[in-house]
Amino acid sequence: MYEKVKISRAALHMWEEPCISGEDGSGTVFFSGCNMKCVFCQNKAISTNGFGKEITIERLAEIFLELQSKGALNINLVTPTHYTKQIINAVKLAKSKGLKLPIVYNTSSYEKVETLKELEEIIDIWLPDFKYIDNNVAERYSKANNYAEYAKAAIDEMIRQQPNCVFDENGIIQKGVIVRHLVLPGQVQGAKDIIKYLYEKYGENIFISIMSQYTPCTNLCDYPEIDRKLTWDEYNSVVDYAIDLGLENGFLQEEESASESFIPPFDLEGVE
């Protein structure tokens, strides 16, 4: 087994959902590489271009403990899928040395169920995207023509493992599933279809995070329909639909979230 991982940043992150970041921050580890090819990716420096530094499992475990010592509310693993085995070993090692924080698995949901089952005793909080419910859209924007089937099965497995959200006395999540959806320009109906699917299937057992932060910061000349910011009317249409459905367990974003200032710097902070 390849015993190293490549990461680009390990630091307190303040821009997750309030129940994850709180006031102290989420101990976020950004892994280099990704199993999707989203044309609008905000993190291409690490997802596609491979920026980062290789470290050992032992060093990754140390980083988890360092984030805990800085006051992190959890350990937040971003695009971790391709390092599943190494992460399992690192978490076990860190726990043997005093790690007490919940572990967050921050993923695109383009996952194999058998991989997620290996993480059953490791992950406390699942933070999956549900990007697309239409595979034609998934193929156009992420080169994943089977995304919807994989995402539905993956989220099913996550909820099997963590069927209810549990919060501490300060409202910080300790266990559970929060499903994110980033609303894309021109894809209002797709967003509504995803929220309807999630709400009708899982009800209030999960939280749904409806995100407005889409930022066209890469070369999208071949995709002119998404080479713009989401309009506030588009976002509000999705939010109003969710409210009309009866959704109460959810998170919304402010208009100013659609900004490059919300994209973290990938500068090896906390790695070396």
3-class SS string, 29-91: EEECCCCCCCCCCCCHHHHCCCCCEEEEHHHHHHHHHHHHHCCCCCEEEECCHHHHHHHHHHH
Instruction: Find out whether 108 and 129 touch, Cβ atoms under 8 Å.
Output: yes
* Cα(106)–Cα(163) distance, integer angstroms: 17
Residue 206, CB-side half-sphere exposure with 13 Å CA sphere: 29
Work out the angle at residue 54's Cα, subtended by the Cα atoms of residues 147 and 113, and round it to the nearest 5 degrees.
Answer: 25
Backbone angles phi, psi at 5, to 5 degrees: -130, 160
- The pair of structure tokens assigned to 37 is 């090819």
Residue bearing tokens 């459905």:
245
Residue bearing tokens 């699917």:
197
pLDDT in tens, the chain (272 residues): 458 999 999 999 998 999 999 999 999 999 999 999 999 998 777 887 778 999 999 999 999 999 999 999 999 999 999 999 999 999 999 999 999 999 999 999 999 999 999 999 999 999 999 999 999 999 999 999 999 999 999 999 999 999 999 999 999 999 999 999 999 999 999 999 999 999 999 999 999 999 999 988 778 999 999 999 999 999 999 999 999 999 999 999 976 555 444 567 777 777 77
Measuring CA to CA, which residue among 35, 41, 45, 16 is closest to residue 216? 41
3-class DSSP assignment, residue 31: strand
User: pTM, whole model, 2 decimals?
Assistant: 0.94
* Helices within 162-231 (DSSP H only): 188-202
Q: What is the predicted pLDDT for the residue at 254?
A: 78
Instruction: Find out whether 20 and 254 touch, Cβ atoms under 8 Å.
Output: no
* Cα(7)–Cα(239) distance, integer angstroms: 35
* Cα(218)–Cα(47) distance, integer angstroms: 13
* Cα(132)–Cα(149) distance, integer angstroms: 10
3-class DSSP assignment, residue 251: strand
DSSP 129: B
- Amino acid found at 78: V
Please tell me the total number of residues recorded for the chain in this structure.
272
- The pair of structure tokens assigned to 92 is 């076990």
- The pair of structure tokens assigned to 117 is 């089952």
